[in-house]
Amino acid sequence: MAQDKVFIFDTTLRDGEQSPGATMTHTEKLEIASMLDEMGVDIIEAGFPIASEGDFEAVSAIAKASRNSVICGLSRANFRDIDRAWEAVKHAARPRIHTFIGTSPLHRAIPNLDMDQMAERIHDTVTHARNLCGDVQWSPMDATRTEHDYLCRVIEIAIKAGATTINIPDTVGYTAPRESADLIRMLLERVPGADEIIFATHCHNDLGMATANSLAAVEAGARQIECTINGLGERAGNTALEEVVMAMKVRNDIMPYTTGIDSTKLTAISRKVATVSGFAVQFNKAIVGKNAFAHESGIHQDGMLKNAETFEIMRPTDVGLSETSLVLGKHSGRAALRSKLKDLGFDVADNQLADVFVRFKTLADRKKEVYDEDLLALMQDVDTTAAYDKLVIRRLRVVCGTDGPQEAQLTLSIDGTDHMAEATGDGPVDAAFNAINSLVEHKARLALYQVHAITEGTDAQATVSVRLEEDGKIATGQAADTDTVVASARAYVNALNRLILRREKNAPDHDKKAVNYRDAS
Ligand code: KIV
Ligand code: ZN
């Protein structure tokens, strides 16, 4: 029997990118959108076009480049927002406008509208959106805390005004599975015209129930799940795409629904989103965590060797993890590297392979065995070092040991010109950061500094994450190296480059020089 299709609506580039510190560049957004399109996501919410010029440009570039997915732009409930969203998505083969307003008592108080005034606003804005675009989604924000009678009333208005999808957001992650299902059932029973539109579920994970709430809504009749890769999103995040997709696949016996997602692409996109957002995936995260398929206990390993199904409900290859454990070394050639990268989910073009191969050889010279984790870190490094970076470390030499003070000598290229600096510090990392700060003027506060060893052994690479905060804006940087101090300095510079990018985006046109350099010569 044919199974009902559940549409997957990905909002990594909108709700996900909204989480503090997860800002992505224009190119990164385009790359992620292209991966989402290729893996079979039905609808990509590409951004919030009125929010900034950068958001508008990214949504419109994604709309132009999209091949299969519907491209959606978010707007508040006013004509200016809606017109801007339409301007951005109209070039897509399949555009969608998504407009929303908060309908719960707390949210109604913000624009100071009474129930009737808000109902009128919903009618007018949805009608306006529908006059521009044949595909309109409407959301009553904080739906799960809205009075049922009022929710039914405004949804009926939105449907009559032309909305084709009604999204039910659990904006603050407050609902629980049974309630999530009951709400959809109630709406399907009570709202006239409900059978002619698609109900969507949009859950946040504040109580750790986003996946369960989304699946419960589907069982009750919702046919669109809104989610993000790795569950990225504000606070505790949104429903994780990989979790709902794999749950419906693995437990299709009790959740008989199909999606258009090619699950073998999940690992690659998870890594990509983790890299560009700077939000690492927790090791024990379902489906895409580093340990999701690792079996360490003796009993488990024994069982796995006899029959993998003893402890595995899905195969690693189902989510795009390779089963081979080929370890590369300094004698490995380009073909072996390319094939290994393909196994890890990276399809590198010839010109990129040349660059990656040089980095791989440098690493292999310093490290006898290059493991999958090393290559992942290396690819992450390739991703975070952009051709347009204004700051590039050319040379760093740090003296450390028991007889302080620790000293750093640095050559930093700034806009293509090399500058030199020396600084001391409370430890080698502090000395390196001080040397950088002596050349680059900024007011950013170091909000996070984290070091992870990627593999075991004293020659292991370290991945360093740095988070900087300047005037309420957050930028994250990452880098990997067998030398922890070098990785730290590069992660710091990576975060500064992102901060500069943000300043440039926000600077008025006549003042595009958004970074000041101290003259250390
Ligand atoms: O969580 C939420 O309510 C939202 C809406 C804008 C749909 O993200
Ligand atoms: Zn949301």
pLDDT of residue 4: 96
Pocket test for ligand 1, best of 202, 204, 239 (most atoms within 8 A of CB): 202
User: Ligand 2 centroid vs 238 CA: distance in angstroms?
Assistant: 7
Q: Is the CB of 171 under 6 A from ligand 1?
A: yes
pLDDT at 373 over 80: no
- Is 452 within 8 Å of 462 (Cβ atoms)? yes
* Atom nearest to 141 CA in ligand 1: 3
User: Ligand 2 centroid vs 128 CA: distance in angstroms?
Assistant: 23
What is the 8-class DSSP label of residue 144?
G
pLDDT confidence of 521, banded at 50, 70, 90? Answer: very low
The DSSP-derived string for 187-240 is HHHHSTTGGGSEEEEEEB-TTS-HHHHHHHHHHHT--EEEEBGGG--STT-B-B
Pocket test for ligand 1, best of 100, 199, 213 (most atoms within 8 A of CB): 100
Handedness of CA 179, 10, 44, 85 (dihedral sign): positive
* Atom nearest to 172 CA in ligand 1: 1
232-252 pLDDT tens trace: 999 999 999 999 999 999 999
Q: Is the CB of 345 under 6 A from ligand 1?
A: no
User: Ligand 2 centroid vs 90 CA: distance in angstroms?
Assistant: 23
Q: Is the CB of 202 under 6 A from ligand 1?
A: yes
* CA gap 438, 176 in Å, rounded: 52
**Which region among 303-307, 312-316, 400-404 has the lowest average model confidence (pLDDT)?**
303-307
pLDDT of residue 520: 43
* CA gap 16, 366 in Å, rounded: 37
Q: Is the CB of 169 under 6 A from ligand 1?
A: yes
Percent of the chain with pLDDT over 70: 91
Please enumerate in sequence order all residues whose Cβ is within 8 A of that of 86, keeping only pairs 6 or more positions apart, or say none: 73, 95, 97, 129, 132, 133
* Atom nearest to 171 CA in ligand 1: 1
Pocket test for ligand 1, best of 101, 141, 199, 227 (most atoms within 8 A of CB): 141
pLDDT confidence of 293, banded at 50, 70, 90? Answer: confident
pLDDT of residue 512: 45
pLDDT at 264 over 90: yes
19-56 pLDDT tens trace: 877 778 888 899 999 999 999 999 999 999 999 999 99
pLDDT of residue 498: 83
User: Ligand 1 centroid vs 108 CA: distance in angstroms?
Assistant: 15
497-519 pLDDT tens trace: 888 877 776 655 444 444 565 65
pLDDT confidence of 335, banded at 50, 70, 90? Answer: confident
Q: Which of 85, 97, 99, 88 is nearest to 43 (CA)?
A: 97
Give the pair of three-digit tokens for residue 206. Answer: 């504040």
Give the distance between the most distant pair of CA atoms in the chain: 79
Beta bridge partners of residue 167, listed in sequence order: 200
User: Which homologous superfamily does the CATH classification assign to the domain defined by 7-277?
Assistant: Aldolase class I (3.20.20.70)
pLDDT of residue 476: 81
Percent of the chain with pLDDT over 90: 63
59-74 pLDDT tens trace: 999 999 999 999 999 9
pLDDT at 296 over 50: yes
Q: Model pTM?
A: 0.81
Reported as type and span, the H/E element at residue 488 is helix 484-506
Give the pair of three-digit tokens for residue 355. Answer: 């660059």
H helix count then E strand count, the chain: 16, 18
Give the pair of three-digit tokens for residue 217. Answer: 């809504």
pLDDT confidence of 472, banded at 50, 70, 90? Answer: confident
Pick 157 or 404 by higher pLDDT. 157
- Tell me what the pLDDT averaged over the chain comes to: 90
- Is 310 within 8 Å of 335 (Cβ atoms)? no
Cα of first residue to Cα of last residue in the chain, in angstroms, is 75
Q: Is the CB of 141 under 6 A from ligand 1?
A: yes
Question: Of the ligands numbered here, which is closest to the C-alpha atom of 234?
Answer: 2
CA atoms in the 13 A half-sphere facing the CB of 257: 23
Q: Which of 276, 285, 235 is nearest to 18 (CA)?
A: 235
Please enumerate in sequence order all residues whose Cβ is within 8 A of that of 2, keeping only pairs 6 or more positions apart, or say none: none
What is the 8-class DSSP label of residue 20?
T
- For 183, other C-beta atoms within 10 Å of its C-beta total 25
**Which region among 24-28, 63-67, 168-172, 417-421 has the lowest average model confidence (pLDDT)?**
24-28
pLDDT of residue 326: 63
* CA gap 88, 66 in Å, rounded: 13
Q: Give the CATH number of domain 388-511; options: 3.90.1280.10, 3.40.30.10, 3.30.160.270, 1.20.1630.10.
A: 3.30.160.270
User: Ligand 1 centroid vs 1 CA: distance in angstroms?
Assistant: 35
pLDDT at 300 over 80: no
Nearest CA residue ID for atom 1, ligand 1: 171
pLDDT confidence of 104, banded at 50, 70, 90? Answer: very high
* CA gap 496, 476 in Å, rounded: 8
User: Ligand 1 centroid vs 14 CA: distance in angstroms?
Assistant: 10
pLDDT at 328 over 80: yes
Cα-Cα-Cα-Cα torsion 293, 298, 302, 304, nearest 10 degrees, comes to: -10
pLDDT of residue 510: 41
User: Ligand 1 centroid vs 141 CA: distance in angstroms?
Assistant: 6
pLDDT at 291 over 50: yes
Instruction: Please provide the size of the chain in residues.
Output: 521
The CA–CA distances, whole Å, from 395 to 139, 191, 433, 444 equal 52, 66, 14, 23
Question: Of the ligands numbered here, which is closest to the C-alpha atom of 146?
Answer: 1
Please enumerate in sequence order all residues whose Cβ is within 8 A of that of 195, keeping only pairs 6 or more positions apart, or say none: 188
* Atom nearest to 15 CA in ligand 1: 8
pLDDT of residue 378: 84
pLDDT at 58 over 90: yes
Mean pLDDT of 386-395: 84
Pick 191 or 324 by higher pLDDT. 191
- For 324, other C-beta atoms within 10 Å of its C-beta total 9
pLDDT at 227 over 60: yes
